[in-house]
């Protein structure tokens, strides 16, 4: 059974402030718990608390949840990957979760600048546990300025080149993606590239665009 103190702690993990204070996050679902591995501090089910439905964040909760330590990665962990994805002001948890899965699938690491907290329950769920496997860090623009890699900016602007089957991208590179409404705000130089699509569509979802470029790079 959970103690009242544990229930209070778990409820606090619904907020960014609570997660930062405790260094812990809420993990919902058996599969995500498995992927969190040794980071799991303890698990709980409906049998452990009459408050179970209030402790989890989904309207149709899964049968099990857990409390895990927030994974800690270093810049060296990030640099071990040839491809580094940078998210600039991406606020949608579903997008960040999906992009985390893409990074896992296409062997990339992840840097987040002014973006949604990747330890929020919704990001963890939409990432299918990838946030526990993909090296990621919350950082600032200054970090990128010290990165010695070819940089690509995913944006459509004057001089930008469309990604085609013949496009060659550097083996070691940074790919920056910005907010769909505001674009990339980072003052970091790089080659602008974009994904061509039917003009009836105003723009691709940021996760969809990144899936195309990451798949392309992974297979060239």
Q: What is the pLDDT of residues 59-113, one digit of tens each?
A: 877 899 999 999 999 999 999 999 999 999 999 999 999 999 999 999 999 999 9
**Residue 158, pLDDT score:** 85
Predicted model pTM: 0.94
- The answer on 93 and 57 residing in a single domain is no
Last residue of a domain, one of 21, 41, 69: 69
- The answer on 169 and 128 residing in a single domain is yes
State how far the alpha carbon of 189 is from the alpha carbons of 2, 55, 145, in Å. Answer: 51, 44, 9
Last residue of a domain, one of 12, 41, 69: 69
Q: Are 183 and 87 in contact (CB under 8 A)?
A: no
Boundaries of domain holding 34 = 4-69
| Domain tally, the chain | 2
Q: Are 188 and 154 in contact (CB under 8 A)?
A: no
Q: CA-CA distance, 91 to 101, in Å (whole number)?
A: 17
Q: What is the pLDDT of residues 112-129, one digit of tens each?
A: 999 999 999 999 999 999
- The answer on 146 and 204 residing in a single domain is yes
Helices (H), 16-114: 16-22, 30-36, 52-55, 75-79, 93-105
Last residue of a domain, one of 15, 37, 69: 69
DSSP assignment of 152-191: EEE---TT-EE--TT----SSEEEEEEBTTTB-------E
- The answer on 150 and 199 residing in a single domain is yes
- The answer on 99 and 9 residing in a single domain is no
- The answer on 144 and 206 residing in a single domain is yes
Ramachandran region, residue 23 (left: φ > 0; alpha: ψ -120 to 50; beta: rest): left
């Amino acid at each position: 059974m959970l103690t009242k103190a544990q229930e209070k702690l778990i409820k606090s993990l619904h907020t960014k402030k609570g997660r930062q204070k405790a260094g812990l996050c809420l993990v919902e679902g058996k599969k995500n718990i498995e992927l969190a591995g040794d980071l799991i501090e303890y698990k709980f089910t409906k049998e452990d608390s009459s408050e179970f439905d209030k402790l989890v964040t989904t309207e149709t909760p899964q049968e099990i949840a857990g409390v895990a330590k927030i994974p800690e990665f270093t810049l060296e962990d990030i640099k071990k990957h040839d491809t580094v994805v940078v998210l600039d002001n991406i606020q949608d948890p579903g997008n960040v979760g999906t992009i985390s899965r893409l990074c896992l699938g296409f062997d990339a690491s992840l840097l987040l600048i002014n973006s949604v907290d990747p330890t929020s329950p919704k990001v963890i769920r939409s990432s299918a546990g990838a946030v526990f496997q993909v090296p990621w860090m919350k950082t600032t623009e200054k970090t990128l300025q010290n990165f010695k890699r070819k940089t690509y900016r995913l944006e459509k602007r004057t001089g930008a080149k469309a990604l085609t089957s013949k496009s060659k991208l550097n083996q070691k590179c940074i790919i920056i993606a910005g907010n769909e409404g505001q674009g990339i705000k980072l003052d970091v130089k790089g080659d602008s590239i974009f994904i061509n699509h039917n003009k009836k569509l105003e723009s691709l979802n940021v996760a969809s665009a990144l899936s195309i470029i990451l798949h392309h790079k992974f297979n060239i």
